[in-house]
Structure formats: structure tokens, C-alpha cells
Amino acid sequence: MTNKIHAHIPYPQLSQHLASLVEQRINPEIYLPAEALDCMVWEELAVQAQTLHAAGLATTIHSPFMDLNPGAQDVSIREATRRRFRQVFKAAELLLPKVIVVHPGFDELHYGDNRQGWLNNSIDFWREFVPRARELDTVIAVENIFEKEPSTLRALLEEIGEPCFRHCFDGGHWNMFTTVQLEEWFAELGPYIAESHIHDNHGQTDEHLPLGEGEIDFDLLFGLLKHYSPDAIWTIEAHSIEHLQRALKNIDKYL
């Protein structure tokens, strides 16, 4: 398995699948939900991390996101989000991830004319974590979720202006929510991409299908990734073993 490919795995399932990951040479993107962070046995995580590192596998982290928002207007929500990301970076000290994926928390329907307020709060929030990312030699990558077009994410990336603060392009979310073509998105954010989440859908729900089983043009997508961000990690976001195996087979021709 090439070092470019990672696969999504929720942390509560890591112990169960750790031996298989090592045997199949699959680099994990470890999702850390809030409940897992709250009951984390840090000594156990250290052993798991050592097993992955000893096997020569790379890791990435997907941060918690439910109910969190780095740019929230409510200071208590920002503080809850800050607490979660401090936990994430404690885990990162052990896992040594290449990338830490985060959700931005922006939704045009909620923020409307207060986009700049959200942006200012988000910029201030990330100022705490960018130095930690630099120290750990990792990259914070902000994923597109509900964004209709790339201007808000680009403004955030430009204002932070650090090589360790980049973009995670999620093709499934783009297909559901975005109103611009792939070429336009990549023209704006392609050089910022440190990771891409690979899954497919039919544009209505977040189906997380194996690539090639929905309607996304992956010939175009991978061509743009190779052109704009050739060193980006490709993470298969499958939600079952069966989907992961089909996705690994389908992605092979793009490697």
C-alpha cells in the first residue's frame, strides 16, 4: 500500500483492527470522537501508536466536530471547541500525524451577513494551535463541509498564512453542497490542499460510497489533485470493511 493512501477508522475500533492495518499496510486516519477523548486511556494510545510507527505506517487524525465551531459567536461554544482540540493535540503528541483534519464550522445559512464575525473568531481560535502544529511537524487541514464556494475557506487560509495550516478537500461534500465546478474550486484552493477525502455519492446524501459507485468524476478529480497538490494524502472515507476493500481496488488505477 502506497504511503499516499490512508483509510478512515474511528478510534473505538482501532484495537479491533490494528493487526489487520499492520498486515495490510493500511495507513489509518484515526477519527477521535468526543466520547473517545473523554475516556481515553493515554497509555493504551501510546502502545497503539508505537505499534503503528514500528510497522512503518503513517497516521492522520480526524478531529471531533459534532456541536463544535472554532468561529462560533457564543464564547462558550468556542471554549468547548478549544478544549476538544487541546485533547486532540495531546493525542497528536503520541500519534505524530502527518495531518490533523478539522471542520471549519461555517454555514452560510446560519451566519449570513455575519461571515466576517465568524472569520475573525476562527482566525483568533487557530492562532493557539498553529504553533503546536509547527512543533509537531504536522498540518492542520480545514475540510470543506457546507461551503457553496471557496472564498470563506480561502480567506481563513490566507489570513493564517502558515504552511502548517492547509485545506482538506472532501469530494463528497463538494458534490452535495458546492455550486462551483471542480476546476474553479481547485483554481482557488488547489495549492493549499494537504489531504483529500475520497468517497462517492449521488449528490443528495453523504452516502460515503466507494469511489466509482456514485456520480463524481474521479478522472477529473485525481487529475486536478495531481496537478495542484501532488503531495497530498488521499484518505478513503469508507464506513464499512466491504466499502473499504472496494474503494482500495477502485483507487488502484489512479496511483
- Tens of pLDDT, residue by residue over 53-75, are 999 999 999 999 999 999 999 99
User: How many whole angstroms separate alpha carbon 223 and alpha carbon 46?
Assistant: 38
Instruction: Give the per-residue pLDDT at 112.
Output: 85
Give Cβ neighbours of residue 225 (< 8 Å, ≥ 6 apart).
Answer: 169, 190, 193, 196, 232, 234
Instruction: Give the per-residue pLDDT at 113.
Output: 87
11 half-sphere exposure, CB direction, 13 A CA radius: 28
Indicate the helix (H) or strand (E) that contains 198: strand 193-198
pLDDT higher than 80, residue 2? no
User: If pLDDT is split at 50, 70 and 90, which confidence band does 199 have?
Assistant: very high
Backbone φ and ψ for 203, nearest 5 degrees, come out as 90, -5
Instruction: Give the per-residue pLDDT at 90.
Output: 98
Residues in the chain: 255
Q: Is the entire prediction scored with pTM above 0.85?
A: yes
pLDDT higher than 60, residue 1? no
Beta strands in the chain (DSSP E): 5-10, 27-31, 60-62, 99-102, 139-143, 165-170, 193-198, 233-236
**What is the SS3 assignment for 229?**
coil
Q: Give the residue-averaged pLDDT of 119-143.
A: 98
- Tens of pLDDT, residue by residue over 231-241, are 999 999 999 99
Residues 233-249: b if buried by 16+ CB within 10 A, e if exposed: bbbbbbeeeebbebbbe
User: Is residue 36 within 8 Å of residue 20, measured between CB atoms?
Assistant: no
What amino acid occupies position 222?
F
Indicate the helix (H) or strand (E) that contains 46: helix 42-54
